Structure 1
């Protein structure tokens, strides 16, 4: 891969602020200004989303509801309404398409936009992001934050800097300095475990990461080492893909009580396989790789996978492989969650367009208005 970064693109990452919780506060005025979470309040509940009022108490998504309530005794729990979230998400995407057709949704509440060439003829990605956020507010009543830069990686990192209801531009001439000064924990794709490993290796900032050789990073982090080596140098060539090909499809269930009997687990897996069969039929896809996800009582996670020689989509065949994976080794503890996912799908791979981008020198690219 070429180490010279491409500064010719203008990418925006738009991220709705506390989306699910904000929708609930929008629809229920009595919840505005109060600490709320979307999720179950039971002992087995998990927080799906937290309002900014709740986040002040350390409440975060994926947190146990028990811990969330302990952190914030006045916390209000609201049941999720995904039909409503999808409705608002569709309205937000309509705004995106007012500016560009190069939109790559990541989820209901965030997306990448390539505005290098845009429908408004506006050369400033910064001003476009500001206008997009204003249109979203006007159309939905909700706030969005944005990150603007030369590639998807930096734009995503930047969108989190001035949250909520803000935006941050990292122009071409500041990209390398920004990455060098960035705390390693802020790098998208570096989680808590990897960050701890990097700390032990003396890597605390982008500059520390940049000082390591490709061979060193590959040795310590495998395939991810190459990604870290290039991304800290501003090299991230992934294009905004308007038609993202689905890579996997799955379903999972958290149980009201821990399960230790494999017989009961099989019954739950049967229901999950039925749900996947429905989703596969709706998406008109099939897959070859089946992955069983197991979350134990202590929240440790284990996955077991198997790839077969043919595509499957029926619940019977999915369950047959899942059953094999279940009995692959003995359970180390009682189980609180089971999930099945199907990957290696038979989705048609789109032919990559010929990359004829102008490879001008960085000195020329810095003249672009951002």
Structure 2
């Protein structure tokens, strides 16, 4: 493991070199909680989700991953890969409680905690409560406390920015950690295939490869103008990250951008009346959460996924924050023009965004998903 005190970083800005960021990522979190609470599941291929025809895997144990089973995979595909797969229903109340335990451990070291989900977070430990100079030592302490208090393992990445800390946390999974120093950062990114860059999806990676951009080194050779021409606003981000530069701060109080709910159906919906009924139920769920958190929003978005997996969204932004009845009326108005449908609907979702209010939980500005599996 490299020594993080080596800070010969060449052209990196001093503000970036000075930070010490840890990315903590729980190992197969939901599945590991289930194996912890039910010893009969330990050592077996376990997934959290539904075995129904329209089910989707929410999490997979490492034993299941050995068969190529992954989260977000359709259950039917997972079963083809591992016929002995064991399905357990999700228990989000338990996962949230364990997540709160873990976050309390983080808070013993720093107030600068940016949760990304229930099972991962960034921590800025440049200045920390215990005055420990090495972030690697703090990461080891956190991982040990998590194991002692929850019986679960966590992996960690340590670096001088968020991007590289995130990449480092994957290097020695499960139950390990790695550090990428400022001296190592540019070379690490240069050797990294663009498909492994956090934040670059398959479609963007395909486009990059068609342009001859296979690695971070290829990105670095291209001018800012070239990257902006082909990737728009993201071009500047790719230009900087190809040089190991990411000056984003850990933001513990970043506001959530949206609150949404969606449902995947066991049978495709073809009738307007049934679809409208489902939309009303989703609106009610979103509104209950908004009311509990004291937040309001002005933009209502309807999401529709058809039987062939084609997905569309329709949105409307109002002048004033919506009430529950107005959100329902707006969502139904967005639904109406889509009928009659040429193909059945497998999923519907409703999201409220352009939020205000004081009740939002900390996060990375991502949608809070209140999904259900069919």
TM-score normalised according to structure 2 size: 0.89
2:108: which partner in 1?
A: 98
| Secondary structure at the counterpart of residue 327 of structure 1 | helix
Q: Are residue 160 (structure 1) and residue 155 (structure 2) matched? A: no
Across the aligned residues of Structure 1 and Structure 2, the Cα RMSD in angstroms comes to 1.7
2:184 counterpart SS class: helix
Q: Which residue of 2 aligns with 1:354?
A: none
Does the 8 Å contact 1:143/1:164 carry over to 2? yes
Correspondence 1:19-98 to 2 at 5 A: 19-98=29-108
Aligned: 1:337 with 2:337: no
Deviation at 1:4, TM superposition (A): 4.7
After superposition, what is the alpha-carbon deviation per residue over 1:141-168, rounded to whole angstroms, capped at 9, x for unaligned? 1000011111111111111111111111
Paired residue for 1:229? 239
- Separation of aligned partners in 1, 2:240 and 2:330: 38
Q: Tell which deviates more after alignment, 157-166 or 6-15.
A: 157-166
Residues 224 and 269 of structure 1, relative CA distance in 2, 3 Å threshold: same
Q: For residues 337 and 159 of structure 2, what CA distance do their matches in structure 1 show? A: 47
CA–CA separation in structure 2 for the residues paired with 1:51 and 1:274: 33
Tell me the CA shift for residue 337 of structure 1.
0.6
Contact map agreement 2:294 2:358 (CA 8 A) in 1: no
8 Å Cα contact 2:295-2:358 kept in structure 1: no
Alignment of 1:1-370 (within 5 A): 4-5=12-13, 6-314=16-324, 316-329=325-338, 331=341, 333-347=343-357
Q: What are structure 1's unaligned runs of at least 5 residues? A: 350-370
TM-score scaled by length of structure 1 = 0.90
Cα distance, 1:347 vs structure 2: 3.9
The count of corresponding residues between Structure 1 and Structure 2 is: 347
**Distance in 1 of aligned mates of 2:152 and 2:249:** 28
Q: Give 5+ residue unaligned stretches, structure 2.
A: 1-10, 360-374
Deviation of 1:329 after TM superposition, in Å, equals 4.7
Once residues 306 and 157 of structure 1 are traced to their aligned partners in structure 2, the CA distance between those partners, rounded to angstroms, is 37
Task: Measure the CA separation in 1 of the matches of 2:228 and 2:332.
Answer: 36
Go from structure 1 to structure 2 and tell me whether the alpha carbon gap of 1:332 and 1:134 turns closer, same or farther (over 3 Å shift).
Answer: farther
Greater mean alpha carbon deviation, residues 6-15 or residues 244-253: 244-253
Aligned to 2:5: none
CA deviation profile, 1:50-89 (whole Å, cap 9, x unmatched): 0000001110111111110110011000011111111111
CA distance in 2, matches of 1:76, 1:183: 34
Report the alpha carbon displacement of residue 124 of structure 1 after superposing the two structures with TM: 0.7
Q: Offset of 1:232 from its aligned partner?
A: 1.8
SS of equivalent to 1:311: coil
Alpha-carbon separation, structure 2, partners of 1:304 and 1:149: 40
Counterpart-to-counterpart distance in 2, 1:104 and 1:142: 21
1:101 match: secondary structure: coil
